[in-house]
């Protein structure tokens, strides 16, 4: 009985990790193709003199859109990536 319970718990944990990795891959490619992300928990807009920066928070990841004259582009990564202030 105890071995069966351990096998079930390990199977569930492995399935969760694989599912989360799949979510990250899907979100990354949707973001790179300018499609809306599936899970956005919070959105921020930072205003600068030369434009805006849009920050989207997901489940353990962050996507940043730079729409400024000095910096233009995208960034996708973990929650602790910093917003670029300079080139």
Q: Where along the chain do its domains lie?
A: 2-78
What are the C-alpha distances in Å from 7 to residues 3, 18, 20, 44? 6, 16, 20, 42
Residue range 51-79, pLDDT digits in tens: 999 999 999 999 999 999 888 889 999 99
Extended beta strands in the chain, E state: 42-48, 51-57, 61-68, 72-78
By C-alpha distance, which of 39, 17, 18 is closest to 28? 39
Which pLDDT score, from 0 to 100, does residue 86 have?
67
**Which pLDDT does position 84 carry in this prediction?**
84
């Amino acid at each position: 009985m105890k071995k069966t319970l351990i096998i079930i718990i390990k199977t569930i944990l492995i399935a969760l990790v694989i599912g989360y990795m799949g979510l990250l891959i899907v979100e990354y490619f949707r973001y790179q193709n300018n499609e809306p992300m599936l899970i956005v928990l919070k959105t921020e807009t930072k205003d600068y003199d030369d434009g805006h920066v849009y920050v989207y928070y997901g489940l353990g990841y962050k996507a940043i859109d730079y729409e400024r004259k000095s910096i233009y582009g995208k960034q996708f990564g973990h929650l602790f990536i910093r917003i670029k202030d300079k080139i």
